[in-house]
């Protein structure tokens, strides 16, 4: 498992505050199998626009991620303050489809980054025994890493997406697969995947979840 000093050195040497790359390293340090980083100081109605970065499958972000944010929003002010940097292991219900090798326990850690309230949720390898100390430390490092850019490190330019790319994004946001989008629009699955690849390149995102979150914040969909 990565040492804390080595992780700090890697975070410092990232030329640009790339949230996804930084969180990949923090996730590895925590011994986790995946992460979701989100703001929880806005309205739950904002949905995917609260998601800053995640390497979870899109449907899991859309369903489990938003359920976690809704649960955070229901907490009282006192409970929110007491929960800062306190890892909580929660059970993921059978209604959520998890990737192979992922435990039904996940760890949720709220933290503050500057004036922002945020939360990081870690998926755990099946059968793993999480270290509360490491998970709490990982959330502290996430706070350090995202604070300078308000947790949203996005390109300054407006993504130049075509109408077809925006249409594909809108269908993805509704939970449609590439196959379903192809049938709806009347094009091939490969063409849909090419559009999605172009979307991620233009928006400098790595997953569908991040692309949808950015497009929502930019009011593209």
CATH number at residue 129: 3.30.450.30
If asked whether residues 57 and 140 sit together in one domain, one would say yes
Q: Does any domain span residue 154?
A: no
If asked whether residues 134 and 206 sit together in one domain, one would say no
Domain membership of residue 22 as a residue range: 4-149
- CA-based radius of gyration for the chain: 17
Which of 93, 119, 149 delimits the end of a domain?
Answer: 149
If asked whether residues 143 and 169 sit together in one domain, one would say no
Q: Which DSSP category does 63 fall into? A: I
Which of 149, 180, 205 delimits the end of a domain?
Answer: 149
Instruction: Count structural domains, the chain.
Output: 2
If asked whether residues 71 and 125 sit together in one domain, one would say yes
Reported pTM: 0.68
If asked whether residues 82 and 30 sit together in one domain, one would say yes
If asked whether residues 97 and 180 sit together in one domain, one would say no
Structure tokens at 177: 């697969």
Which strands form 51-54's sheet, in the order they lie side by side? 51-54, 34-39, 116-125, 102-113, 88-91
Q: Does any domain span residue 100?
A: yes
Q: What is the pLDDT along the chain (221 residues), one digit of tens a residue?
A: 667 777 777 777 664 557 788 888 889 888 899 999 998 876 666 677 888 889 998 889 989 998 999 898 888 888 888 888 889 999 998 999 999 999 999 999 998 877 778 899 999 999 888 788 888 888 888 887 776 544 444 444 456 788 888 889 888 887 788 899 999 888 898 999 899 888 888 887 777 777 877 777 677 77
If asked whether residues 172 and 88 sit together in one domain, one would say no
């Amino acid at each position: 498992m990565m040492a804390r000093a080595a992780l700090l050195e890697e975070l410092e040497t990232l030329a640009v505050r790339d949230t996804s790359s930084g969180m990949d390293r923090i996730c590895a340090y925590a011994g986790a199998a995946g992460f979701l980083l989100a703001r929880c100081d806005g309205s739950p109605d904002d949905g995917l626009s609260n998601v800053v970065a995640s390497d979870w499958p899109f449907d899991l972000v859309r369903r489990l991620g938003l359920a976690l944010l809704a649960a955070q929003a229901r907490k009282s002010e006192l409970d929110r303050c007491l929960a800062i940097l306190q890892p909580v292991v929660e059970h993921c219900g059978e209604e959520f489809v998890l990737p192979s090798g992922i435990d039904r326990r996940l760890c949720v850690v709220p933290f503050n980054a500057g004036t922002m309230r945020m939360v990081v949720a870690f998926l755990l390898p099946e059968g793993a025994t999480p270290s509360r100390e490491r998970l709490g430390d990982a959330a502290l490092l996430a706070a350090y890493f995202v604070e300078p850019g308000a947790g949203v490190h996005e390109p300054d330019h407006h993504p130049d997406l075509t109408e077809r790319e925006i249409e594909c994004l809108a269908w993805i946001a509704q939970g449609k697969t590439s196959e379903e989008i192809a049938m709806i629009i009347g094009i091939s699955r490969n063409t849909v995947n090419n559009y999605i690849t172009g979307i991620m390149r233009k928006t400098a995102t790595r997953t569908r979840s991040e692309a949808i979150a950015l497009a929502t914040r930019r009011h593209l969909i």
